[in-house]
Amino acid sequence: MALLEEWRKVAYNENTDKGTLQKFWSTYFLLEKGIYEKLLENSEEAVSGTVKELAEKYGTDVFNMTGFLDGINDSLKQPNDIETMEEDTVVSLDFDNALLYKNMVDAKADWLYELPQWDKIFTAEEKKKLYREQKASGTIVKGPKIGRNDPCPCGSGLKYKKCCGKNA
C-alpha cells in the first residue's frame, strides 16, 4: 500500500472516535510547525531527499513525513508525485514562499502563517497584502441587480421584463 493511502486511512478515518482523532491532529500540528520553522529559516534552500531521509532530517517518522508532504505539495514549485510515493522515493521541498503563505492562510493555520520566521522573508506590509489576496480569492462578488425596466443585458434593446426577465 502506498504511503499516502496509509496516511489518509488514519488521518481521515470517520470510524475513529473524536478524542483519538483530535489527539492525533494536535500531535501532528506540533510536528508540522517544527518542520516549517526549520524550513523557513533557510527558505531559499531547495531541500530534497528520499522520504525516509527527510523524516530523519526533521526528526519524525516516515508516516508523519508523508502527511507533511501531502500538506505542502500544493505549495511546491514542482509538485511531487505523492500518490505513488514510497520510503525510497526522492522528493523535493522547493516551495514558493508566497504560495505557501497563502495556502497556510487558506487552511486557517494561524500557528503556521504567524510563525516569526516569516518576518525574515516578508515585510509586515507584504504579509498583509498576501493575506488579503488570499481572503479575497474566496470571496464571491455578485454583479449589480438588473431592474425589470433596465435594458436587457443580452443586448436585444428591449427592457429586461420583456426579454430575458420574462421567465425569471
Share of the chain above pLDDT 90, in %: 81
pLDDT at residue 1, as a whole number: 61
Residue 79 in this model has a pLDDT that exceeds 80: yes
pLDDT at residue 141, as a whole number: 76
Question: pLDDT of 120-129, one tens digit each?
Answer: 999 999 999 9
pLDDT at residue 35, as a whole number: 96
DSSP line for the chain: --HHHHHHHHHT-TTS-HHHHHHHHHHHHHHHHHHHHHHHHTTTS--EEEHHHHHHHTT--HHHHHHHHHHHGGGBSS---GGG--TT-EEE--B-HHHHHHHHHHTT-HHHHT-GGGGGTS-HHHHHHHHHHHHHHT---PPPPPPTTSBPTTSSSSBGGGTGGG--
Q: pTM here?
A: 0.80
Question: What is the chain's mean pLDDT, rounded?
Answer: 93
Residue 140 in this model has a pLDDT that exceeds 80: no
pLDDT at residue 168, as a whole number: 61
Question: pLDDT of 88-113, one tens digit each?
Answer: 999 999 999 999 999 999 999 999 99
